[in-house]
Structure 1
Amino acid sequence: MTDSNSIYHQLISQELQQWQSAMKRKPSFWNRTTKKVQKKINRIIPEKVHKAITKAIKEITRAVIFGSGFTTRTRKEVKTLEEIEIKVKERINFYSSSAAVEGAATGFGGFLLSLADFPLWLTLKMKMLFEIASRYGYDTKDYKERVYILHIFQLTFSSQERRNEVFETLENWELIKDQLPDDLNTFDWRTFQLEYRDYIDLAKLLQLIPVVGALAGAMVNHKLTNKLGKTAMNAYRMREKRFKEMKLLKGSDQLYLK
């Protein structure tokens, strides 16, 4: 590696360590209190409503994540980590800006148009995750890579308690992925939709108000899309670091990237 690469690796190693500490942090008093309130609200909501929402989110997410339009080409040429992440950050900025425009457009119309925000914003976020995976050299045609993407999504939009659980899975992904079932129906869609919905409910509430919702929709969509992108970057950094460590333990002298 060149000196430039070494410096960059040192910088992102610090970022990665800080991110890992944040993911492992125990739920705060506020986190626990908020979660208890959300659980009480969820208990009040009729079961048939939960089932309907779970089914809707499951079908929309499945359609997005298995859509033919989301297949991206695996990066073939060898690039440095810094070169890869320059492009990744460009795509995160692009999708964050696109999500802001979409959020402003749907938020301007109030409640009815805001209903359209969910599938549109979800599609943008998933498309971004597919591109990021491809930039890091992973083949998104692989079913297990798509499950990894689902875990990144869940890691971003979950309570701290659930985040601890998902992070542990990603931290040990190279050992866990071979044990995954072949049927995505076994994925815990109920928890997925509850955590996601609870996470964004308060943030998206103002978007339901006509006109005012345009500003709220733009700000929230931009901020949370950017957060998702940064989470993905660190998830793939951690995965590559763990992969390299496992290879070195087996006597391999491979470099950071495959």
Structure 2
Amino acid sequence: MEEKLQLKEELKQITHWEHSQKDLWFWEKLGRLPFQVLDKLTPKVIHRKLGQLLDELGSYIQSGGQYLVKEGKVLDKLGVSSLAEVPYLPLETMDRACDELIEARVTFAQLQGAATGVGGALTLAVDIPALLGLALKTLQEIAIVYGYDPKEKKERVFVVKCLQFAAADIVGKKAILDEISSFSNQREHVFSELQGWREVMMTFRDQYGWKKLFQAVPIIGVIFGSLFNKSFMEEIAEAGKMLYRKRRIIEKLKQFEPDV
């Protein structure tokens, strides 16, 4: 009973977090305004790279491709030998491993942003796909931490939904939360409803693109690149942790329900 009450309290905290996502900071609202100006200012090489990433993201959903991660190192952090053992671990063990993983990935993203900020627009074209790849891999690792297999297509869809959630506005966040609430019930038709995966890259551009332009200025870009990548990965990782954690808590709570 004590464990059940604790899980319910953890679920309540996640619900509170979901409600806190109801609005955008002024910085984010401002970043969504100058779309036409942004298009003109963004170097062509960046536009080409974004187009390439759209195709890669679609490929990731279908097959995982180059972005799939190996679960071995994550399982070692958890102290288990197989993914099948993870759901039976205490939630605290999962949370601890997740926090350690996130800290390492945020630090790596920060250093990567600083390094690619040295060369301006040319190295920015390298940073954008590297950052997306790191985000996808981090979300997959979070999935493994909470006992879900990113090699399954439905989990790759969930990963992209986490990515989309982090970049969405208030309307988009609510819609995504409504969609993924059915993942715990294994309603397959929800998985086939992923129509707007391209929106992930468009919201990436709309929300973050103009801030990334500062990174295109040589030397000064070191500061902006570091700060942006850190903020981006923190948002992505927080969304992934909260959404996967919620699924695991709900499934643990089901263990206390009487069999019918």
Q: Please indicate, yes or no, whether the TM-score normalized by the shorter chain is above 0.5.
A: yes
CA deviation after TM superposition for structure 1 residue 199, in Å: 1.3
CA deviation after TM superposition for structure 1 residue 172, in Å: 2.7
Match of 1:57 among 40, 53, 70: 53
Identify which range, 146-155 or 231-240, moves more after superposition: 231-240
Identify which range, 52-61 or 151-160, moves more after superposition: 52-61
Match of 1:15 among 13, 16, 31: 13
Which residue is equivalent to 1:210? 218
Identify which range, 169-178 or 109-118, moves more after superposition: 169-178
Contact 1:64 1:126 in 2 (8 A): no
Alignment of structure 1 residues 103-252 onto 2, 5 Å: 103-175=113-185, 177-180=187-190, 187-244=195-252, 251-252=258-259
Secondary structure of the residue that 1:108 maps to in structure 2? coil
Structure 1, unmatched stretches of 5+, are 254-258
Match of 1:97 among 107, 115, 126: 107
Contact 2:164 2:199 in 1 (8 A): no
CA deviation after TM superposition for structure 1 residue 61, in Å: 2.2
1:209-232 deviation line (CA, Å, top 9, x unaligned): 111101111111112101211111
- In the alignment, residue 227 of structure 1 is paired with which amino acid? E
Which residue is equivalent to 1:70? 69
CA deviation after TM superposition for structure 1 residue 128, in Å: 0.6
TM-score of the pair, normalised by structure 1: 0.78
Contact 1:54 1:190 in 2 (8 A): no
Give me the CA root mean square deviation.
3.6
**Counterpart Cα distance in 1 of 2:172 and 2:35:** 13
Identify which range, 26-35 or 154-163, moves more after superposition: 26-35
- In the alignment, residue 61 of structure 1 is paired with which amino acid? L
Contact 2:31 2:206 in 1 (8 A): no
Tell me: CA distance 1:132–1:205, structure 2 relative to 1, closer, same or farther (3 Å). Answer: same
**Counterpart Cα distance in 1 of 2:249 and 2:218:** 46
Tell me: CA distance 1:175–1:44, structure 2 relative to 1, closer, same or farther (3 Å). Answer: farther
**Counterpart Cα distance in 2 of 1:90 and 1:30:** 29
Tell me: CA distance 1:222–1:199, structure 2 relative to 1, closer, same or farther (3 Å). Answer: same
Identity of aligned residues (%): 22
1:58-107 deviation line (CA, Å, top 9, x unaligned): 22324556125425362525321011110101110111011111111111
CA deviation after TM superposition for structure 1 residue 32, in Å: 7.0
**Counterpart Cα distance in 1 of 2:163 and 2:229:** 14
Identify which range, 219-228 or 85-94, moves more after superposition: 219-228
Secondary structure of the residue that 1:225 maps to in structure 2? helix
Secondary structure of the residue that 2:117 maps to in structure 1? helix
Identify which range, 199-208 or 147-156, moves more after superposition: 199-208
CA deviation after TM superposition for structure 1 residue 190, in Å: 3.5
Contact 2:117 2:225 in 1 (8 A): yes
Contact 1:174 1:243 in 2 (8 A): yes
- In the alignment, residue 72 of structure 1 is paired with which amino acid? E
- In the alignment, residue 53 of structure 2 is paired with which amino acid? I
Structure 2, unmatched stretches of 5+, are 73-82
Contact 2:31 2:207 in 1 (8 A): no
- In the alignment, residue 137 of structure 1 is paired with which amino acid? G
Number of residue pairs matched by the alignment: 244
Contact 1:110 1:213 in 2 (8 A): yes
**Counterpart Cα distance in 2 of 1:28 and 1:223:** 13
**Counterpart Cα distance in 1 of 2:164 and 2:102:** 18
CA deviation after TM superposition for structure 1 residue 27, in Å: 6.8
